[in-house]
Structure 1
Amino acid sequence: MGVVVVTGASGGVGRASARAFAARGDRVALLARGEAGLRSASREVEQAGGRALPLEVDVADFAAVDRAASRVEAELGPVEVWVNTAFSGVFAPFDEVSPEEYRRVTEVTYLGFVHGTRAALDRMKPRDRGVIVQAGSALAYRGIPLQSAYCGSKHAIQGFTESLRCELLHDSSGVRVTMVQLPGMNTPQFDWVLSRLPRRARPVAPIYQPEVAARAIVHAAGHPRRREYWVGGSTVATLLGDKVAPGLLDRYLARTGYRSQQGERRRDPDRPANLWSPADEHRDFGAHGRFDRTATRRAVQPWASRHHGLLGAVGAVGAGLLGAALARARH
């Protein structure tokens, strides 16, 4: 039973992860902005068998994150695992996103991870132990249309984490940092992220339940020597396909990326958006989004993460198949 900090813990993957750690009997600090979401997430942690410490924090504010970390250690004990999942975004073409909105997404989604990592390292390095888990995304490797600010932030997290990992190895540090790369998830984000799309935003299929990601994050926290874990089995071939046929995936996504990220129903212009203030301040959205009927609770992770050699061979074959499929789609 250890001390775990989860950012973005009031909803989605963060909330599912907090419950998963609590099921092990961990003491879990929940960092998020929304009071109602935090209150319900805290209750779920206690019901799952853990001890909860809910803290209202905007991860874009490093001083606030650092104060929260100090309070966690004072009330729960030394932080052993820090999980960064908090993010925000805007669904819109790049030129329809204001500079202020772009900056805010970057501050929350990228710098929020930097701030959490710094707060964790400042406490873990003197003890020479601890694990930091970054909730990444397949979009850290492959940008898609309509999410340029989010994709840019995920790319930045990837580069930042790789750099930090090298520094920790140079120092022979006992602190470990790993990433869990996620596919499309059934989380409330598609009902509260700022959108200027004509129809309701949706994740690109296949869609996974947040509990799938939570299991991967808990696994990564217990096995942090691997640099990254992948959730979902379709990403490797796609990424390799982009290397095999440069530019082809760009053209394919230009044709399909707008349609695949929108549902049939029109977007409600009055729905809440969490870019500047929490959408779950007065209403709890829970961990799941509105895609329960199509989301799966199963994934090939962590098996795939333990068999990179075989996966690479399969991915190489898949890349060729993907290239052929995209070529057919172009004609």
Structure 2
Amino acid sequence: MTHSPVAVITGASSGLGRATAIALAKRGARLVLVGRRDASLQEVASLCRTHHTEAAVAVADTADAEALERAAESAERGFGRIDYWINAAGVSSYGRFWELPPEEFARVIDVDVHGYANGARSALARMLPRDRGVIVNVASILGEVPQPFSSPYSMSKAAVIAFGRSLAAELALSGSHVRVVTVKPPALDTPIFQHSGNHTGRAVRALPPVYPVHAAVRTILSALHNPRRRERDVTVAGGMLVRRHQRHPRSVEAAIAAQTAAGQFERTTERPHSGNLFEPSPAPGSITGGWHGRRAQTRRTLVGLATAAGAVALVARAMRRSSSA
């Protein structure tokens, strides 16, 4: 058992972090599960132990560098080393930039950017002396193709991608065998949409197409096994969208904006709230957000695709007119 890899996972109480923890437990990894809510972490740890592995819990807010360092110390003290560090904790808040409370914008950046830097710093302090280890940063396709109404989240994920590229280059220049991999999932069926802050006036829903969590888990496991590829798109469609955006940024951004306006929000109203930004959600932890009802998913997808296609056509015509003028 002592030869089994040791993995620290932030955001392990729900969503992608929870699913990744269980998947690694099935493969025999010893785990340290980091999150803000002890009860949810203990539940995940119990699930992991059913696969005959060890799982410890560390209650910490990733934006708190000292708390995260204590979590890393407990992992090293309990298991002797850290082989994998997976930064999967994330929060979000929806609304027009000028209507988002500044403290909520700052909180998203603290968790989704500083939290990743804090995690990487604590991981590197243990990995560099051994000259081995893998850090996986969970970014998002929105870091490459930003979305309206989620400016702090899009900004944070762009920062995570840039951070990964810079850190990977520094490690390469120093001759280190420690690896950093950035994973870029699309919209996943997780509770983040229910947990996010919201200042749009309407309930938030997952923007189709929504992919199952296990698609991103497979990518993370692959990155841990073969970390030489520094960046990984979770889906083929996501990679195609990034390349299309690089060639035609205006038309793609217009299409995403139109699709977001048409498909991201319910008709039902919702009062402004901060979601789980400052306090962990009291709801039991779960992997999925319940966004895979076939009928609703199909309807949202068709509406979103039709709206996006219309937007692309309009922008393309406008671009042709401007080029011929």
TM-score when scaled to structure 1? Answer: 0.86
> What do the CA deviations read for 1:130-179 (whole angstroms, capped 9, x no partner)?
01011111011111001100010111111111011001001110101111
1:99 counterpart (77, 99, 102): 102
> What do the CA deviations read for 1:103-142 (whole angstroms, capped 9, x no partner)?
1110001110000000000110001000101111101111
Equivalent residue number for residue 278 of structure 2: 276
Question: In the alignment, is residue 326 of structure 1 matched against residue 319 of structure 2?
Answer: no
1:304-323 counterparts in 2 under 5 A? Answer: none
**Alpha-carbon distance in structure 1 between the residues aligned to 2:316 and 2:239:** 21
> What do the CA deviations read for 1:192-235 (whole angstroms, capped 9, x no partner)?
11112333212222111222211211111111011111112212
Deviation of 1:330 (Å): 6.9
Q: Secondary structure at the match of 1:40?
A: helix
Shift in CA distance, 324/233, structure 1 to aligned 2, threshold 3 Å? farther
Shift in CA distance, 94/76, structure 1 to aligned 2, threshold 3 Å? same
> What do the CA deviations read for 1:307-326 (whole angstroms, capped 9, x no partner)?
xxxxxxxxxxxxxxx99981
Q: Secondary structure at the match of 1:69?
A: helix
Equivalent residue number for residue 288 of structure 1: 288
2:227 counterpart (210, 221, 224): 224
**Alpha-carbon distance in structure 2 between the residues aligned to 1:272 and 1:149:** 14
User: Which has the larger displacement, 195-204 or 137-146?
Assistant: 195-204
**Alpha-carbon distance in structure 2 between the residues aligned to 1:245 and 1:292:** 31
1:234-313 counterparts in 2 under 5 A? Answer: 234-267=237-270, 269=271, 273-280=275-282, 283-294=283-294
**Alpha-carbon distance in structure 1 between the residues aligned to 2:109 and 2:41:** 23
Structure 1 spans left out of the alignment, 5+ residues: 296-321
**Alpha-carbon distance in structure 2 between the residues aligned to 1:133 and 1:206:** 24
Equivalent residue number for residue 212 of structure 1: 215
Shift in CA distance, 270/71, structure 1 to aligned 2, threshold 3 Å? same
Equivalent residue number for residue 72 of structure 1: 75
Q: Secondary structure at the match of 2:175?
A: coil
Question: In the alignment, is residue 176 of structure 1 matched against residue 162 of structure 2?
Answer: no
CA contact (8 A) 2:113 2:159 kept: yes
Shift in CA distance, 83/160, structure 1 to aligned 2, threshold 3 Å? same
**Relative contact order, CA 8 A, sep 6+: which one is greater?**
1
Equivalent residue number for residue 122 of structure 1: 125
Shift in CA distance, 223/108, structure 1 to aligned 2, threshold 3 Å? same
Equivalent residue number for residue 167 of structure 2: 164
1:10-49 counterparts in 2 under 5 A? Answer: 10-49=13-52
Shift in CA distance, 166/111, structure 1 to aligned 2, threshold 3 Å? same
Deviation of 1:48 (Å): 3.0
CA contact (8 A) 2:93 2:274 kept: no
**Alpha-carbon distance in structure 2 between the residues aligned to 1:143 and 1:270:** 23
Structure 2 spans left out of the alignment, 5+ residues: 296-307, 318-325
CA contact (8 A) 1:244 1:323 kept: no
Shift in CA distance, 4/115, structure 1 to aligned 2, threshold 3 Å? same
